[in-house]
Structure 1
Amino acid sequence: MTDKLNVLVRVDLDCAHAQIRAQGRVTAQSIDALYVIVKRANALMSGLAVEIDMVHASVEPDALDQLRACSLSHHLPAHIDPFQSNCRLSILTAGDDFAATGTAARAA
């Protein structure tokens, strides 16, 4: 696995869903890059459900804690989104199941 963070974004506006698939390494330093992508996806339409799929990524515990906090608060950090727009964010990791993420785990 590479340390470089790679992302693929899929958006289905009809179903009001966006998926951000991350590969590589997600660190406390690289997490802002993911936040910016989530913010841009969230701005596409009101009520869009945004999922970050990190099944194929190496995620530092601090970064995962930050993402989960955003998911629970429904807001991105203020330095990324000063207007604190509502954000329906779910996190999918290799060890998660439906109950933990609110999103069905999918095989890649």
Structure 2
Amino acid sequence: AVLLERPRVISAKVGHAWDLPENTFGAAYARFMGSRNFSPDDRPPVRFMDTDELAYVAMRAREVHDLWHTLFGLPTNLIGESALKVIEFEQMRLPMCLLSVVGGTS
């Protein structure tokens, strides 16, 4: 369904998170993003993909990155980003996730 509908994590779709009750995931996401002055629209476009489907999957991985930070309570420092890359590897099996952990910590 995700590949058919191709939902996006962009301000136009998640901006209402600020209005959600305090104890919801949406409110936690809004706090995470707001406390860091992040915007879901800040991600650069995906380039150099062979198909539109692959480009969407890569874009989706970028867009949900901060949702994972929120879900797992991971900070945006080297340790938090490295931990998140291990989780992303477990989810997507993309070698670049593990390579970024090795490259980011050396």
- Specify the TM-score bucket, using the shorter chain as the normaliser: under 0.3
The structure where helix makes up a greater share of residues is 2
Task: Give the structure, 1 or 2, with the largest relative contact order (CA under 8 Å, sep 6 or more).
Answer: 1
Could you state the TM-score of these two structures normalised by the residue count of structure 1?
A: 0.28
| Structure with the higher strand share, 1 or 2 | 1
**TM-score using structure 2 length:** 0.28
Q: Which has the larger radius of gyration?
A: 2
